[in-house]
Chain A
Amino acid sequence: MSGSAQPGISAEVQRLAAELFDQSRAASYSLSSAEFTRALVEVARKYLPPEAGAEETAELLRSLKVEELALARACAAGNDAAWECFLTRYREKLYGAAHSIARDDATARELADSLYADLYGTATREGQRVSKLNSYMGRGSLDGWLRTVLAQEYVNRYRSGRRLVSLDEQTEAGAQFAAPDPPSAPVADPRLGSATDEALSSLVAEDRFIVAAYFLDGRTLAEIGRILGVHESTVSRKLDKAVKAVRKRIRDGLLARGLSRRAADEALATDVRDLAVDVRASLTQETAAAPFSKGGAQEK
């Protein structure tokens, strides 16, 4: 998007640039007003729709962490005073966050060192140093952004290398990831699958997030509450309500698809995999041959 395509945004940025420049103390990092204004324009173009008006633009700009944005851009430009400030404020936090994410010293140090190098800008493009700090847009705090970048890097590494890591090591490392890709669910009746999909799609985003975080990711109610910024009891209430709604919609969907009430209730009460396990166990006992095989998903 060019400036001429968003005259309202550019005009509002120019109007607020001086005020925000003073707030940011960018001058103390030898960051010029023009460079700071360029950063503001970049943020506005990235997060505002083309038709955004002056009020929306002003609201976004005033919500930015301008001081941290100026610091990040000054660091990316190679300003020594800015780097000194950055190191004083964030170096320890960076390594601390890496340790809390990776849970072991070696991985944490590797993670933090890798990010630190990216932040400093060891890579160059067309003779210009490329710093990851140019990606910071001031929407949240700089240390929050650093934690998020670390987390993304850790997730990427874990996901790419998890085949080499045993389940026990993952558990010991404290990894709390998303549930691994589950095996395809052996749905006995396709109507159950479609009714379930329909019920899940009716959930609002927040309820879906809570249900997924609780049942798939294994997060506690308190953790979910912290992510959403609500109280644990609110999460508990929403979760219970959402699950009951899903169960009811599944049941209603099954009834609408021709199942009897009894069959619908049985479908909700019984997991198809449990049925398969029971059958296998029954067969095994009858033949008295191979020992009972235990485990997760059983194939029919």
Chain B
Amino acid sequence: MAELPKFARERLAQSGTPEPHPDANLISAFVENSLTSRERAQVLDHLSRCAPCRAVAGMALPEPAAKPVPIRTTEDRMWARWTVMRWATLAVSAVVIAAAVLVLRPHEKRREVVPDFPMNTAISASPAKPAESAPEAKAPAEEKHQAERWDRSRRAAARPPATAIRNEAPVQPQLAARARQQVVPNAQPGNTFIANAQQQRPGGPYVLQNQAQAAVQQNQNVAVAPSPPPPARADLDKAAAAKAPGVATETVEVTAGAAPVESTANKQNLPKTAMVPGAAGGGLLRARPVEGVAMKDSAARWTISAGGKINRSFDAGQTWAEVPVGQGVAFRAVSANGADIWAGGSGGALFHSSDGGEHWTRVRPSASGSDLSADITRIEFTDAQHGTVLTATGERWTTADAGRTWTVTR
């Protein structure tokens, strides 16, 4: 890293302490990222010139150890590794099958098979739609089709319907039980917190969390888009004929409330631009794979605006659109694992979407006779099942079964 000359450091230190100093409300809100863009810029400018206020801001941060996050045990890591391998295998199989179908179709006129387009469901991160009936496959790849359909059906059965959940019994008791053992703090052997992780991995908890997120994101690079209905055969033929190098797009509507009307910039200085009309003629653009190419750049991104609104981007943050969820709720935290989205905010409002934000469900965690009602300040989901919700009152709500059941610690 480049070094700043000593004389430059001294000139920097001599810049003087500007007045007035921001009060404790502004500094604490700055640290918690609760200020408006204008206020944040003002406070940041002051902090850049005022050493004592920088010291205060640093001390105002909560200790990292005060927020332990259950980490994955070896068993979880192996399970995650297997999940990655499984998805990768499915994706490769889908590509091979699609190529075989496209290549062999002109030579096999009797072939009746138009299976569910394997790439869509194979690489979808959302709960799989019920497998549509398809003509019976007669190709040598029938076993692979069947395996994929079985896998889709199994996953569809495993996932709960998008309804409000309050302490319902887990659908997969074995998985939930194992997960609960790993999540309930200090209750089960083998449960390791971030403190142990610090001993095992360099970089501390902040790096570890992002490693986990990066691992999940890497997984989701293969399975990125929520599963839309598969294209018609004519579209496939058209795509194949056109030899589209990348992806086809279509305009879809967000069904959670009114359609979004404009893109808004978030507090992270993203450009405030209108929606690019694009090939689909405007509105939301959602990329959908055609030839099974991993669409890393079209993975949705999520953020919270200064006004507490949920924003989503499909173009790597170039444009954003508000997702109308939770009327009157000021959101403060959002966590995304592919198409599995959690958002929380004021008054314990917690919403979940398993299809990339198309549909939302209000989740009302309840445990030990109490409900989550405090403002949610942070949400961390390492995968679709395991997550933690932190509140402004210091409560930690954890789930290991995608929000069906919760435990709370204070």
Contacts and interface: CB of A to CB of B under 8 A. Distances in A.
B374 A67 contact: yes
B60 A68 contact: no
B9 A176 contact: no
A227 B52 contact: no
Interface residues of B, number: 68
Interface in B44-69: 44-45, 47-49, 51-52, 54-64, 66
Binding site secondary structure of chain B: helix
Contacts of B2: 240, 243-244, 247
Interface string A136-167: 11111111110111111011000100000000
A17 B250 CA distance: 43
A177 B4 contact: no
Contacts of B51: 177-179, 212, 216-217
Contacts of B234: none
Contact of B206 (A143, A226, A243): A226
A222 B64 CA distance: 11
Interface in A160-218: 176-179, 181-182, 184-185, 187, 192-193, 196-197, 199-200, 203, 205-206, 208-209, 211-213, 215-217
A184 B26 CA distance: 32
A19 interface: yes
A180 B298 CA distance: 49
Contacts, number: 216
B54 A212 contact: yes
B386 to A, nearest CB: 22
A280 interface: no
A196 B25 contact: no
Interface stretch (B33-41, B97-105, B237-245): B33-41
A213 B44 contact: no
A222 B26 CA distance: 22
Contacts of B66: 96
Contact of B394 (A89, A149, A181, A271): A89
B28 A155 contact: no
A139 B34 contact: yes
A185 B64 CA distance: 37
Contacts of A151: 55-56, 59-60
A100 B63 contact: yes
A67 B375 contact: yes
Contact of A209 (B13, B47, B59): B47
B24 interface: yes
A179 B8 CA distance: 14
Tell which of A141, A179, A203, A227 has the most Cβ of chain B within 10 Å. A141
Contacts of B25: 135-140, 145
A152 B24 contact: yes
B187 interface: no
B4 A232 contact: no
Nearest to B60: A148
Contacts of B133: none
Interface string B266-284: 0000000000000000000
A217 B11 contact: no
A281 interface: no
A148 B24 contact: yes
Contact of A205 (B45, B55, B308): B45
B10 interface: yes
A133 B44 CA distance: 25
B14 interface: yes
B28 A135 contact: no
Contacts of B41: 205
A63 B57 contact: no
B347 A23 contact: yes
A59 interface: yes
Given A63-B307, A217-B51, A217-B58, A243 B1 contact: yes
A255 to B, nearest CB: 16
A139 B3 CA distance: 37
B7 A149 contact: no
A24 B30 CA distance: 22
A229 interface: yes
A268 B8 CA distance: 9
8 contacts: A67-B392, A96-B66, A135-B23, A143-B393, A155-B52, A185-B10, A208-B48, A223-B61
Interface of A: 19, 23, 47, 59-60, 62-63, 65-68, 89, 93, 96-97, 100-101, 135-145, 147-152, 154-155, 159, 176-179, 181-182, 184-185, 187, 192-193, 196-197, 199-200, 203, 205-206, 208-209, 211-213, 215-217, 219, 222-223, 225-227, 229, 231-232, 236, 239-240, 243-244, 246-247, 250, 268, 271-273
